[in-house]
Amino acid sequence: MLASLVVCTSGAAVAKAADACSQLVLVVVPGWRDITGVLECHERRGDDWIRVGSRVPVTIGRAGCGWGSGLHPRIDEGPRKREGDGRSPAGVFAIGTAFGAGRTLDTGLAYRPLTAHDWCIDDPTSPHYNRIVDDREVGAEAVRGSTEPMRRDLHLAGDRLYELGFVIEHNAGGEAGCGSCIFAHPWHDAATPTAGCTALAVSELRDLLRWLRAEAHPRFVLLPAAEHRRVWHAWDLPPPGDTP
């Protein structure tokens, strides 16, 4: 979301992009319409991906998932992520900036402390679409109509949904209508889906943020189990195991 879009046109290109990546967050869901899955963390050791830590339950979009825009090839078979459709983006994505309500956060990612002036713009007609902006810099009119205040606790009666998290860089080029404001953030509970993000228990998210390091060029991958089995080798991903 906050970086330039990298366009890959083949499985080989995905593998090449992964060469510099030594941390990978893998989420596998049973199918396109499922709203729950499992998250695993993997580290590159030589030519292999090695899982570290425990498998963690997550929730995703209320409509399941659909192909997003990221570091993977465009795939025309299967659903595609669109603005407001309730799907989480599937594919391979860079992990961007961490954010939170506190002045500091224990993470190896670049960190953005949020204020009441920070918004993520979900209006496809806006020149700031799919970007986190400060209304003191872009002006109050630029954020008018956005439904994504980043300090939800201050704007939405104490909602702590974005008290900490990180950006999943879906649609980093900001193509209108392709989906915006995709994060990893705390869940409400293990059965409540999101509007399109990936959510997990806040304690597990803190552990994940503590593990992630910007210099490892970390990637976030979300796939239905059948797609994971189909593309893992070509895309240089961890192989299927006891995932759903």
Rg, C-alpha atoms of the chain:
17
109-156 pLDDT tens trace: 999 999 999 999 999 999 999 999 999 999 999 998 888 999 999 999
Task: Tell me the two tokens of residue 78.
Answer: 């299967």
Is pLDDT at 15 greater than 60 in this prediction? no
Determine the Cα–Cα distance for residues 43 and 52; give it in Å rounded to an integer.
Answer: 7
> What does the pLDDT read at residue 3?
32
* Average of per-residue pLDDT across 173-196: 97
Q: How confident is the model at residue 65 (pLDDT cuts 50, 70, 90)?
A: very high
pLDDT of residue 162: 95
Q: How far apart are CA 27 and CA 120, in angstroms?
A: 24
The per-residue pLDDT for range 24-38, each reduced to its tens digit, is 999 999 999 999 999
The model's pTM is: 0.91
- Which residue ranges make up each domain of the chain? 11-231
Number of Cβ within 10 Å of residue 74's Cβ equals: 11
- Residue 15 host element (H or E): helix 11-18
* pLDDT recorded at residue 106: 98
pLDDT beyond 50 at 8? no
Given this model, what pLDDT does residue 6 score?
Answer: 32
